[in-house]
Amino acid sequence: MIPADVRGRLKKLKETIERHRYLYHVLDRQEISDEALDSLKKELYDMEEKYPELLTADSPSQRVAGKPLPEFKKVPHKVPQWSFNDAFSEEDIRNFDARVKRFLKAAAEVRPLQSRGQTSAAPPTYVCELKIDGLKIVLEYENGLLKTAATRGDGEVGEDVTMNVRTIQSVPLRLSESLDLIVEGEIWMKKNNFLKLNKERAKSDLPLFANPRNITAGSIRQLDPAVAASRRLEAFVYDIALLGPSSELPISKSDFDINKHHKYRSLTSILPETQIEELKLLQKLGFKVNNHFGLCKNIDEVIAFWKKWQTSATKEDYLVDGVVIKVNERKYQDALGYTGKAPRFAIAFKFPAEQVTTVVEDIQLQIGRMGTLTPVAHLKPVLVAGSTVSRATLHNEDEIKRLDVRIGDTVILQKAGDVIPDIVKVLTEMRTGKEKPYVFPTKVPECGGNGRIERIPGQAAWRCVDKNSGAQHRRKLYHFVGKHSFDIDGMGPKIIDKLLDNHLISAANDIFTLKGGDLSELEGFKEKSVTNLLSSIEKAKKVPLARLVIGLSIPQVGEETAYDLADHFGDLEILRGASFEELQTIDGVGDVVSESIVQWFKNKDNKEFLKKLLKVIEIEKPKKVKKTKSEQKLKGKTFVLTGTMEAMSRDEAKGKIRNLGGDVSSSVSTNTNYVVAGENPGSKLEKAEEFGIKVLNEKEFLKLIK
């Protein structure tokens, strides 16, 4: 028999520890020292060791428990997990507001959206919540106890990471009410914890983590819960996905019925009728909710909230990359429902490009595949737009002179999303007099030969005099297998380097003769990775003429010129035999490009390489499909693309233009008909305005190619 006083003491210990956990990790308050709390936990642990029958799943001692797992199990989500569409500008968010109102008006005509005696549907209001840059987590509670924690995965199936999530102190193991509940939230790491962890790793000569988001994801995917516990992660919960029994679930996205499943209303518990009330309910149940949410009466107040947090977000101890906007009224959310990938009632309003300051520690030259030398600034590592960066391209000698950037300068660095970071300004007032101007050297050893370099006549760029340097050779191979040429999936620069260093290939044609046995002994190549790589190589053996021409790395021939050549000649043999005069007849192919093409095909080494390559690949014959006039509506029109688009990638946009008979150019000229300008357009937009060329925004472009 267990003495009553023991049971009473253990009960008090659990309640007290849980209370102080909630105060510290959810409400950010501390009433007793860490040492005092640790002492209480030690007493609880000792009592449970002595009386194991008193141990329960929701005990504070069970946050780090069990042996490392052999693997993560797959978990079908009981409610499909969508992602948000993005907005990047005030225009985008006003369009979202217009769509919401337009959809609600149409829905009201079919089924009135009246509630609680309302005689007419009031306009929607919006709730703004900070968009935390972390890892999404889905938590399921059964009768108030944490049952499962899963990653988002593909939206329908995630990974069971329950043991790791139990180590997060701000995630309650037991709710304040005995409910069946599924909630969604974000796991994150404090910036200060991230910096401390990297300092410790630096002392131990371990690789540094890139950013708090990456380490959060990596920590949750550790098979040993003790590792996750040591990372001291946090969690904000922001949404109730399901409230009540879930006997009919899980379901797939294709079978999802919003009226039947979304925000399921049980017999005993009714979900709040607004998003604001839902956030308050989550707090009441014991979850940590980010307190910086606000109710906005209209879209102007939403924009004001977004503008305020663009500057305020940096003061928080977690990464924020935007604001999530949600329609506040539940009845409107239900009426709006979902598209195939995202809710119609919510959108992520992203912040603009982030800027930080750092120091230029060095400037070094990087050799391109054609021997062109690009100056690269080596920076004091700095966290910008969620990632730690230590490099920024300086483009060419003229750009260095324009910025007047020197080694030792303090500079403003800008990075937007996945775009390569740029130095946008030098803070000359920070100079001490020790900064050194950069002078291009006369020799670069990596260029091969005697290392001599020269400035390209008429350009701001420098290049290696030796056209066959080892560094260039590697970069040509990287380019050959890249997305725009042969597109060999899984064969990036590291694999190319490994194949070269192990003498498995010496030229591009050797790639297509590799066998399983050649690869299986290489470090890091398991059976599956060998099979996958060989499959990718086999698939790449059939290549369209344009992609082949791109892969040949003919000087002066870029992607657009390669497509022009393929369209004009249609056959490699005809292209190989084309004269200087014939090439000049192609729009956009001038004297320099024509001469370069003729000389490349005349070169003895190139002829031999092409002969070997054509033995192991097959050039796809273009399919002759007779197109209607509407399918060729862009025939004779030349487009230039600048900036990024939301609806499609630049490659997809180029493909759409070409499929409709249009041409794509990489530079603006008097022959350009349209310049398509996305977000953050470059100097091409200024040139278009200078030449009086019509500029299309993304919406206008999409309408044109529809």
The residues annotated with a catalytic role in the active site are 131
CA distance 453 to 371: 9
Query: 28: buried, middle or exposed (CB in 10 Å: 19+, 13-18, 0-12)?
Result: exposed
Rg (CA), the chain: 30
Which residues neighbour 604 within 8 Å (Cβ) at sequence distance 6 or greater?
Answer: none
Distance from C-alpha of 678 to C-alpha of 682, rounded to nearest angstrom: 10
Measured CA to CA in angstroms, residue 384 lies from 422, 574, 642 at distances of 11, 50, 23
Residue type present at position 333: Q
Non-local CB neighbours of 309 within 8 Å, separated by 6+ positions: 130, 292, 320, 323, 351
How many C-alpha atoms does 664 have within 13 Å on its Cβ side? Answer: 20
User: Of 417, 416, 415, 414, whose CA–CA distance to 426 is shortest?
Assistant: 414
Beta strand pairing call for 462-464 and 372-384: antiparallel
Residues 6 or more apart whose Cβ sits within 8 Å of residue 690: none
CB 412, CB 382: distance < 8 Å: no
Q: Is 429 helix (H, G, I), strand (E, B) or coil?
A: helix
Neighbours of 484 (CB within 10 A): 14
CB of 163 closer than 8 Å to CB of 66 = yes
Identity of residue 306: W
Amino acid at 625: V
The SS3 assignment for 294 reads: strand
Percent helix, strand, coil in the chain, to 5, is 40, 20, 40
Q: Where are the alpha helices (DSSP H) in 89-190?
A: 90-110, 162-165
Between CA 240 and CA 79 the distance in angstroms is 10
From residue 422, alpha-carbon distances to 414, 429, 566 in Å are 5, 20, 35
* Cβ atoms of 78 and 245 closer than 8 Å: no
Q: Are strands 181-188 and 135-142 parallel, antiparallel or unpaired?
A: antiparallel
Name the residue type at position 621.
Answer: K
Cα atoms in the Cβ-side hemisphere of radius 13 Å centred on 320: 24
Structure tokens at 292: 């910086």
Q: Would you give the distance in Å from CA 424 to the centre of its chain?
A: 23
Counts for the chain of helices (H) and strands (E), in that order: 25, 26
Distance in angstroms (rounded) separating the CA atoms of residues 506 and 194:
43
Rounded to 10 deg, the angle between the 191-203 and 212-220 helix axes is 80
Residue type, position 18, single letter? E
Structure token digits, residue 252: 């797939």
State the amino acid at position 149 in one-letter form: A
Between CA 185 and CA 611 the distance in angstroms is 58
Q: Are 330 and 116 in contact (CB under 8 A)?
A: no
For residue 397, what are its two tokens? 């000698």
| Tokens at 47, concatenated | 């009592």
